[in-house]
Structure 1
Amino acid sequence: MMVPFEGCEKSVRYYLVQVLFIFWYWGSVKNVEADVVASVGTNVNLGEALQFLREYDLEASRMCFTVGTSQWIYATNMTDFNKRRMVEEQVLKAKFDKLTWSRAMAFDWTKIPDPMVRRHLKFLVTSGRGSLPDEKYNEIHHLISEMKDIYAHVRVCPYDNNDKIYCDLELEDLSEIMAKSRNPLELAHVWKEWHDKTGPPMKNKFMRYVEIANQASKFNGFQDAGEEMRYLYEDADFENVVAETFQRLQPLYKEFFTYVRKKLVKQYGPNVVRPEGPLPAHILGNIWAQDWSNIENIVTPYPNTPKIDVTDEMRRQGFTPLRIFQMSEEFFTSLGLKPMPPEFWRHSMIEKPVNRKVQCTASAWDFCNRLDYRIKQCTEVQMKDLITSHHEMAHIQYYLYYADQPYLYRDGANPGFHEGIANAISLSVYNPTHLHLVGLFNNDTTDYETNMKFLFGMALGKLAYAPYAYLVDLWRYEIFRNGVSNMNSDWWQLRIKFQGVVPPIPRSEQHLDAAAKRHIPADMPYMKYYVALLLEFQIFEVLCNAAGHTGPLHSCDIYRSREAGRILSDIMTVGRSKHWKDVLRILTKGKSNKLSSDSMIKYFQPLYIWLKVQNKNEKLSGG
């Protein structure tokens, strides 16, 4: 594990990067004027374009390594010094990105004869905000930084804390309360405090951010920033495609919603939950009401049937964090995929250190040097972390397989592919069949009640999330397209329309409740999570067919299937070098290139049939 050296304010490595940046900069002024803003390039020389892309590939990889290293050092040792150094590297990266855009703009990419070079230049020219003048480029980065800072420093007063002395609850504390409390007054208090202290303080900054983001997108040739966000999917009909997939999910979601509501009425009474109305956002176990897994003990069917949780068995067998990761690696090598390289085991952080503050959110890291790949995870011996380790290692597999692609193509085929593949692996690992096969679950895997309870638990995490994942960026598209005058009412109209969820207390345009989710102030796209949700089931079904699985889709395990491994390696190797629809063709052996919710519906089909029987006397609603 890397432990940072804190002997000087600026490291030798930082100065080296500055020197590299200067060389890159002076190389660029031969080709482009310093004050170029959104001008159309005229250079169509293929040789010069190739030279520029070779230089970019080298420097971007170096920059990725430098920034990634500084971020890793801070994430695994959260000191003020390490944070300052990380910010310095990120500022340098922002300058590099802007200069890269300027250099790419010297070319008329539409007339470059080589299709791969055209695609490269297109990605560089039509992404980012390098088209902005320096003043506004710096301003929007500063606005985003300020909004993230507001978000990070929100502190909330506990319920019934009348003296207001100990108002020090952080988001992690609030999430714990939302997950475990069953007092609707306490839940409403926590919900209100968080939403009141995130949105309103940053509302004016967010409005200015929208204005500048739209300006940048118009410089790049788009109507607004929403169109530029969708452009990453390289599909002019993308909005309609995802709308169609969600429409297909609605009958399943409505049955599920109706059953959950019935259980919540029984728990809280009609004064809190209207028997035929929407659900109030504060009683769903999550501060954003996006994942309902934490209310499983209230709404689950067959409460006397044991939940599938192999934590006790793992501890009985003497599992350690290292053994969890070794087991994860063996899953992938059983498919014929790659073992983790030596650097992975040398540098990864798989346990929480006792001597320093770290970020414990599990994550996979690619240091862009085709050598160094790591996972950061504060692993405990529990089933949740067993699943997470497989998920994160799936990301590492993706990194390993597309490592030979140029830097710009070392990514998922579209923004949802990385999570889609990792989640498809999780579907195989977290099911009774696999857990029984690896000796961790000894109960009958064909028991009807066990399977219904399992599927219902999966629906609380997956199906409940679908409308939320879908609507976050729909709201953003609407704001970028139509302006900021009705941001909060627009947000809640989408929440009730697609999710069937309403705020627990009245809201107004003084609020900005969408900003209670970090992705909004942090300028992070969200539609990729909905796309990933669909892809994980699409990919999973294809892998299951390749593995020769028969029976319900939710019981499939691809463990030890070399054919499933070959398909995974085929779709991972291309990275982003091909259009994602072409990657879907590779996945399905030419049968389809469409994003679809059909596999997700098939996965939950046994639950859907069960829900319709349970809801036969209920009025359906929800979304």
Structure 2
Amino acid sequence: MNMAGKSIALFCLFAFYTRNAAGDDYLRMGTNTNTAEATQFLREYDREASGMCYRVTMSQWKFVTNITEYNRRRMLEELALSTKFEKLSWRKAAAYDASRLPDPQGRKQLIRIVQASRASLSDDKFAEIQQIITEMKEVYNSAKICPFGQKPYDPHVSRTTPQPTESPEAKAYQHNQPIQNSQLHQDITDYPNYCDMQLDPEISRILAHSRIENELLYVWKSFRDKTGPKLKNKFMRYVQLANEAAVNTGYRDAGDQMRAAYDDTSFRESVEEIYNQVAPLYKQLFTYVRRRLILRYGEASVRPDGPIPAHLLGNMWAQNWKSIMDLVMPFPQSPNLDVTSEMLRQGFTPLRMFQMAEEFYVSLGLRPVPPEFWRGSMLARPAQRSVQCTASAWDFCNRIDYRIKQCTEVTMQDLISTHHEMAHIQYYLQYADQPQLFRDGANPAFHEAVANAATLSVYNIPHLQRLGLYQNKSHDPYEVSMNFLMSMALEKVAYLPFAFMVDQWRWSIFEDGVHNMNARWWQMKLRYQGVTPPIGRTEADFDPGSKYHIISDQEYIKYFLATILEFQIFEQLCIAAGYTGHLHECDVYRSRDAGRVLSEIMQPGASMSASDIIRSMTRGKTNRISPESLVKYFRPLELWLRVQNRDEQVIGWNSNFHDVALFAPQRALSNTNCFSFLMLLTSFVIVNSM
């Protein structure tokens, strides 16, 4: 993409940030050196941005808790005003030379206004990229498929009349027949009022609970058919506009702009190093899971030394394997940790679950939630109105109003979710006195990391015993502990390579262009996850479009770092609480010392750098995110896995011609490109064998 002309024009107008050849920090912004004027702008921005944030957040809250066309229109109106405010604020902030400000906090605020925005685009293009993102979300959210093995609905036939034929695709899956290419591309979901299975809950439930391979394959492919092909061209235009905005703003590309939030000039090398440290643990887990999947599906489906087909891991993106716990539980005769039945026996309600979560944080010396929380939150599914139920915590930007939206059910999973969301509320409360621009985590990973670190103390056997929710009188504690750690590993460890590779792929698209996007996606999934598509994929499929965070313009590397950081924070809380046992059994409940450490992490918000907060948290031992605590947490399980895998020929996976042929462009398999193909194949073997 040639955007040099537009870049030069904006550089002349704003003299905005650039990097030197050595990749040092940003050098300068605009040419306005009036520091008093810049300081006054920041004061006005803080007041106006807080007001705008309140209006937008309130309109969004009203819509998601009462989905009506009227509320949707009001929300879009507020979002349009917010867009204008963002554009105007960016222009003002970009005109100042931040290096002249004597206050380092003022310099940091000016930088935050400018660095993540795409307001450097022309008004038309700025509106266009936002419209594209909105359209991609709508395509994704409206994706529906037919039930597996059912006959398509014919609108000209009565609903009570038997349908004459099954669709070719459903019939082929049902009878385990090979599906021809012409059948693969037949769209069987164009029948109204019948094919209405959405990702949540129907498709996700099938992937989690079905053990019929044909059914898993059917829903896996059908959802991708309804997303990727419709999104590919929109995404390609989005990449072009995002890159143009980044270059206009002084970055190399949009990936470079995303990474700037981490304030680390060697960020890519840093995250690669972290991944390499956790990869051995992942490969031990992978090898054990593969063996158990072979016992269930056979070597015809899963090769003993190869990667795992993506549809067998209990999740649409093979990112969380917890749903296949029944297939891989270390000790099936001992229970998995689930206190749902005891919660029901004791008469738990959603309100009681939130009161319990609040008491957990108050016991650490943190703040109780304000009365507005209890008045405004939606803690259970309301009757007689449509709502969006995904659990989320809300900051209304006025230092008073904080809420949670969650259709809570009395289950252990929702008890953990309740503590997680309440941790976000605590974060909001702790940094409430900061300026609006600093009411956020120290970097994009911190909010999730803090919330998950707190729940690690809740979701463990000792804590649930203290609450009177779990009693283990008849089972071997070691077996129960291994089952618990396996469940946690399927959720946390299995997630790491996926969370790592999503933005590796996205950055490669921003850097190298939009050719072979699908092949590169599967190349990275094979390299990092050891996962292959269950059937052949082409560039027409655009499988990255099946992941919401990609098409909704949300960065993903923060989830990788948050998963690493949560264990690092958790260990520091346990050290402060004086705990010395196995890390997975630590409970910091009622420890004021642990609460002080947590408060020290949260109070600065984004006013302190992540490295300074980590240095303070670890009492000077390190200033970097480290996976050592995660490895320590899972060490008992890793030792057990090594014993289970002692007879395996390959710890990890080897790739062969057929694995790569599932997604590689056809020309890569031709004789003229044979050498390149073999080099690609060899790289997988070297990287993933041990």
**Aligned residue among 409, 417, 425 for 1:388:** 417
Deviation at 1:36, TM superposition (A): 5.6
Partner residue in 2 for 1:563 = 593
1:104 and 2:134 aligned: no
Counterpart mapping for 1:543-622 below 5 A: 543-618=573-648, 619-622=650-653
Give yes or no for the alignment of 1:84 onto 2:115.
no
Question: Residue type matched to 1:45 in 2?
Answer: N
Determine which of 11, 31, 52 is the counterpart of 1:42: 31
Structure 2: how far apart are the matches of 1:241 and 1:41? 31
Q: Say if 2:468 is the partner of 1:479.
A: no
SS at match of 2:82: helix
Map of 1:246 onto structure 2: 275
In 1, distance between residues paired with 2:240 and 2:253?
A: 10
**How many angstroms apart in 1 are the aligned matches of 2:427 and 2:375?**
20
Q: Quote the residue 1:330 is aligned against.
A: 359
Amino acid at match of 2:519: S
Equivalent pairs, count: 590
Q: Does the 8 Å contact 2:145/2:223 carry over to 1?
A: yes
Cα offset, 1:111, TM superposition = 2.9
C-alpha distance in 2 between matches for 1:389 and 1:436 = 18
Whether 1:167 aligns to 2:195 is: yes
- Provide the identity percentage: 56
Query: Partner residue of 1:519?
Result: 549
Partners of 2:409 and 2:196 in 1: how far apart? 27
The answer to whether residue 519 in structure 2 is matched with residue 489 in structure 1 is yes
Question: Could you list the per-position Cα deviations for residues 454-496 of structure 1 after superposition, in whole angstroms to 9, with x for gaps in the alignment?
Answer: 0000000000001011110010000000000111111001001
Matched, 1:93 2:123: no
Among residues 22, 35, 44, which one is paired with 1:55 in the alignment? 44
Match of 1:470 among 500, 504, 516: 500
Tell me how far 1:446 sits from its aligned partner: 7.6
* Alignment CA distance shift 1:75-1:522 (3 Å): same
The higher relative CO (CA closer than 8 Å, separation ≥ 6) is in 1
Q: Offset at 1:115? A: 1.5
The Cα of 1:511 is off from its aligned counterpart by: 1.7
Alignment of 1:204-283 (within 5 A): 204-283=233-312
Q: Secondary structure at the match of 1:439?
A: coil
Q: Show CA shifts across 1:225-248 (max 9, x none).
A: 000000010101111111001100
Alpha-carbon distance in structure 2 between the residues aligned to 1:122 and 1:351: 40
Give distance in 1, aligned partners of 2:601 and 2:149: 54
| CA distance in structure 1 between the partners assigned to 2:365 and 2:196 by the alignment | 50
Partner of 1:130: 119
Structure 2 counterparts to residues 286-305 of structure 1, below 5 A:
286-305=315-334
Cα distance change on mapping 1:349 and 1:321 into 2, 3 Å? same
Once the 2 structures are TM-superposed, how far is the Cα of residue 41 of structure 1 from its aligned partner? 2.2
Question: Counterpart in 2 of 1:378?
Answer: 407
Give the distance between the partners of 1:329 and 1:36, measured in 2 at CA: 51
Match of 1:434 in 2: 463
Q: Is the 8 A contact 1:310 1:440 kept in 2?
A: yes
Match of residue 26 from structure 1 = none
Question: Which position in structure 2 is the counterpart of 1:353?
Answer: 382
Is the 8 Å Cα contact of residues 379 and 408 (structure 2) preserved in structure 1?
Answer: yes
Letter in structure 1 aligned against 2:76 = V
Deviation string, structure 1 residues 411-451 (Cα, Å, up to 9, x no partner)? 00110100000000110000001000111101159811000
Q: Which residue of 2 aligns with 1:202?
A: 231
1:15 equivalent in structure 2: none
**8 Å CA contact retained: 1:38, 1:220:** no
Please say if residues 37 and 132 of structure 1, whose CA atoms lie closer than 8 Å, have aligned partners that are also in contact.
no
Amino acid at match of 1:135: D
Query: What's the CA shift for 1:110?
Result: 2.6
**Per-residue displacement from partner, 1:35-77 (whole Å, max 9, x unpaired)?**
9677662111221111000110001100110000001101110
SS in 1 for 2:262: coil
Does the 8 Å CA contact 2:334/2:476 hold for their aligned counterparts? no
CA distance in 2, matches of 1:546, 1:373: 29
**Helix, strand or coil: the match of 2:394?**
strand
User: Partner residue of 1:146?
Assistant: 135
Instruction: Tell me how far 1:200 sits from its aligned partner.
Output: 1.0
- Between the aligned partners of 1:37 and 1:406, the Cα distance in structure 2 is 25
How big is the shift at 1:551?
1.2
- Aligned 8 A contact 1:159 1:190 in 2: yes
Instruction: Give the counterpart letter for 2:417 in structure 1.
Output: T
Q: Distance in 1 between matches of 2:352 and 2:301?
A: 46
Q: Using the alignment, how far apart are the partners of 1:598 and 1:584 within structure 2? A: 14
Whole-angstrom CA distance in 2 between matches of 1:616 and 1:411:
46
Cα distance in 2 between the residues matched to 1:469 and 1:41: 36
Residue 22 of structure 1 is matched in structure 2 by none
RMSD over aligned Cα atoms:
1.4
Does structure 1 retain, via aligned residues, the 8 Å contact 2:14–2:95?
Answer: no
Counterpart of 1:273 in 2: which secondary structure? coil
Say yes or no: does 1:114 pair with 2:114: no
1:67 and 2:56 are equivalent in the alignment = yes
> Would you identify which runs of 4 or more consecutive aligned residues in structure 1 move more than 2 Å?
35-41, 110-114, 161-166
Counterpart amino acid of 2:121? Answer: L
The equivalent residue for 2:569 is 539
Paired with 1:456 and 1:485, the residues of 2 have a C-alpha distance of 39
- The letter of the residue matching 1:191 is W
Report the AA paired with residue 548 of structure 2: R
Number of the residue aligned with 1:509 = 539
**Distance in 1 separating the partners of 2:262 and 2:349:** 41
CA distance in 2, matches of 1:38, 1:477: 26
Residue 114 of structure 1 and its aligned partner are, at CA, apart by 2.3
Structure 2 CA distance for aligned equivalents of residues 388 and 359 of structure 1: 16
Q: Which moved more, 1:368-377 or 1:167-176?
A: 167-176
Whose Rg is larger?
2
Matched-pair contact (CA < 8 Å) for 2:228–2:546:
yes
Contact 1:37 1:131 in 2 (8 A): no
Quote the Cα distance in structure 2 between the aligned partners of 1:469 and 1:537: 16
Letter of the 1:366 partner, please give it.
D
- Residue 596 of structure 1 deviates from its aligned partner by 0.9
Q: Which moved more, 1:227-236 or 1:191-200?
A: 191-200
Give structure 2 stretches of 5+ with no counterpart: 1-9, 17-28, 153-187, 654-687
In the alignment, the residues of structure 1 paired with residue 443 and residue 499 of structure 2 have an alpha-carbon distance, to the nearest angstrom, of 16
Map Cα deviations across residues 142-182 of structure 1 (whole Å, 9 max, x no partner).
Answer: 11111111111111122223435422111111111111111
Shift of the alpha carbon at 1:106?
A: 1.6
Contact 1:38-1:219 at 8 Å conserved across structures: no
TM-superposed CA distance for 1:118, in Å, is 1.1
* Alignment check: 8 A CA contact 2:423 2:451 kept: yes
Paired position in structure 2 for 1:320: 349
2:681 corresponds to: none
Tell me if the contact between 2:516 and 2:539 (Cα under 8 Å) persists in the aligned partners: yes
> Residues of 1 paired with 2:84 and 2:308: CA distance?
46
